[in-house]
Amino acid sequence: MPRARSTRVLAVVGLVLIACGVGAWLLIRPPAASKPAPGCVILITIDTLRADRLGCYGARRVRTPSLDRLAAESTLFERAYSPSPWTKPAVTSMLTGLDPAVHGIVSGGQDDPPLPGSVELLAERMHDAGYRTGAFGYNPYVAMVEDLRRGFRDYFIMPRLDAEIPLDLYEGIDPRDTTAAISGITERWLAQRGDERFFCWMHFYDPHLPYDPPKDYWTDDHRSQPDPAASRGPTEEMHSQPFYRPDDNERRQLRGLYDSEIQYVDDAVGRVIATLKRLGRYEDALIIVSSDHGEEFWEHGGFEHGHTAYDELLHVPLFVRTPHAASRRVATAVDTPSIYATIADACGLEPAEHAFATAPSLWPSIVEGVDPAPRDAIFAGFTLYWEPQRTVRFGRYKFVHKIISNDVELYDIEADPGETTPIGDANPALVKRGRALLEAHRAWAEELRGRLRISSEGGKEMGEARKKLLRSHGYLK
Ligand SMILES: [Zn+2]
């Protein structure tokens, strides 16, 4: 590589490292012991939940009183983004603190690399620090990533492929109603904790497809539709026909069902919070609420998630409730891999080099009541279907690169948050900057993978049982 170009690339790599938070982290890390570590830590992730469907993010026609009450006691990040528009990369990033380009758990099959011991998962660190660790959730993609269970003493991510859930947690609970099963099992587990310190991760599957909310939770909008009881709508057809174009009635029906599912999950979260209060564990609880990705409703022509990386898929809720901070709202853009470092930091754990190098802790900003340092760039991508894409947001812009066609799109997301009017043709310098940031990020990720000894080889072949499981959920055709 010519010297001038190599210098330029190194300069951009440096910029990306700063963007990824290394510099900011070293500069602003407070003494870990400045606040007492919480006795209980609960991470609640709600699959497929768009930020704009919660009251605390401005929704008016979806009622989410439990989450809104919690948000009203929290530091709420108004602009939080997932690094991927589908479950597996996004959830792995929250639990490893690593960008999907680094951890590499991005395959729709089972050819992901194993996570080596050099990648220390959040639950491993919490377990080593003396927290009882439990995970309760449902998503076939999460269930298939064996490494995600590392560090969890009690790991009940359904559908289970290998073992049974102990009867005392499970008896009388209907696993087909995943939301009630997750909250019910978690409440029993919480009741068994006494005054033990614990870290609990709940991953609700609703409002993921199929949309099948109980009647009691229908929104008023949905209730007023001609046939609200057509509970699954045309979703199964749409899964098998990606170019299926529903009419306006079907679209309204699907939106109504989706919103109703959110009301259902909100109530389940409310029951868990009530249980925590009843057990006297709420007072010093650290509670983090977020989602792995959103859902698209034809804003850019498509439906569901995993196909594109527009903000209806990447903009997710993120709020953090701790007794050590007054409630406030933060407008600075952040991303969800920071959840790892934020929890580790709140618990006074020593930083694991890889986690803090990738996504900075939000804890100093939360307890000090100041905005986090703005990131120069926030990356996302790793679509599941259609054309692979990478995106980077920098300043007021978002740049999208479609990898096979080499098409690019640039949006001014401050003036055009719906990403409807590409401005790349008129702004070649910004397009060039977007490309340079993505290239530098790719090189940085490759270097970090090498340091962490993450293989670039695929893993084992997908077994028949897993194929059948994914097929039954519409993931495999
Ligand atoms: Zn998901």
Tokens linked to 383: 């679509």
Mean pLDDT value of segment 423-436: 97
What residues does the ion ligand 1 have nearby, CB within 5 Å? Answer: 47, 87, 292
pLDDT tier at 459 (50, 70, 90 boundaries)? very low
Closest CA relative to residue 345, chosen from 61, 15, 135, 122: 122
Q: Which of 19-23, 193-197, 386-390, 446-450 is least confident?
A: 19-23
Q: Cα(138) to centroid of ligand 1, in Å?
A: 10
Does the pLDDT at position 227 exceed 80? Answer: no
Return the higher-pLDDT residue of 212 and 9: 212
Residue 180 CA to chain centroid, in angstroms?
A: 21
Q: Cα(294) to centroid of ligand 1, in Å?
A: 8
Q: Cα(47) to centroid of ligand 1, in Å?
A: 5
Query: How many angstroms separate the Cα of 50 from the Cα of each of 17, 30, 47, 82, 270?
Result: 29, 32, 9, 11, 19
d(CA 85, CA 292): 8
Does the pLDDT at position 24 exceed 50? Answer: no
End-to-end CA distance of the chain: 44
Closest CA relative to residue 107, chosen from 87, 82, 93: 87
Q: Cα(29) to centroid of ligand 1, in Å?
A: 32
pLDDT tier at 343 (50, 70, 90 boundaries)? very high
Q: What pLDDT shows up at residue 474? A: 56
For the domain that residue 37 is a member of, what is the CATH number?
3.40.720.10
Q: Cα(28) to centroid of ligand 1, in Å?
A: 32
Closest CA relative to residue 316, chosen from 298, 302, 337, 300: 337
Q: Cα(315) to centroid of ligand 1, in Å?
A: 13
d(CA 67, CA 49): 12
Does the pLDDT at position 465 exceed 70? Answer: no
Closest CA relative to residue 296, chosen from 450, 85, 146, 10: 85
Q: What pLDDT shows up at residue 30? A: 45
Q: Cα(98) to centroid of ligand 1, in Å?
A: 17
Q: Cα(425) to centroid of ligand 1, in Å?
A: 34
Q: Cα(71) to centroid of ligand 1, in Å?
A: 22
Identify the top-confidence range among 206-215, 301-310, 386-395, 433-442. Answer: 433-442
Q: Cα(136) to centroid of ligand 1, in Å?
A: 15
Give per-residue pLDDT as tens, 65-109. Answer: 999 999 999 999 999 999 999 999 999 999 999 999 999 999 887
Kindly state whether residue 55 falls inside one of the protein's structural domains: yes
Q: Cα(244) to centroid of ligand 1, in Å?
A: 22
Contact between 392 and 438 (Cβ < 8 Å): yes
d(CA 276, CA 299): 39
Q: Cα(86) to centroid of ligand 1, in Å?
A: 5
Q: Please write down the HEC assignment for all residues of 111-158.
A: CCCCCCCCCCCHHHHHHHCCCEEEEEEECHHHHHCHHHHCCCCEEEEE
Number of structural domains (the chain) is 1
Kindly state whether residue 307 falls inside one of the protein's structural domains: yes
Kindly state whether residue 182 falls inside one of the protein's structural domains: yes
330 φ/ψ angles, rounded to the nearest 5 degrees: -120, 130
Give per-residue pLDDT as tens, 394-408. Answer: 999 999 999 888 999
Give per-residue pLDDT as tens, 365-381. Answer: 999 999 999 999 999 99
Q: What pLDDT shows up at residue 27? A: 39
Q: Cα(242) to centroid of ligand 1, in Å?
A: 18
Return the higher-pLDDT residue of 14 and 452: 452
d(CA 452, CA 455): 9
Kindly state whether residue 378 falls inside one of the protein's structural domains: no
Q: Cα(85) to centroid of ligand 1, in Å?
A: 8
Kindly state whether residue 406 falls inside one of the protein's structural domains: no
Instruction: Supply the mean pLDDT for the chain.
Output: 86
Print the domain residue range for 292: 32-372
Q: What pLDDT shows up at residue 73? A: 97
Contact between 62 and 85 (Cβ < 8 Å): no
Kindly state whether residue 431 falls inside one of the protein's structural domains: no
Kindly state whether residue 322 falls inside one of the protein's structural domains: yes
Kindly state whether residue 284 falls inside one of the protein's structural domains: yes
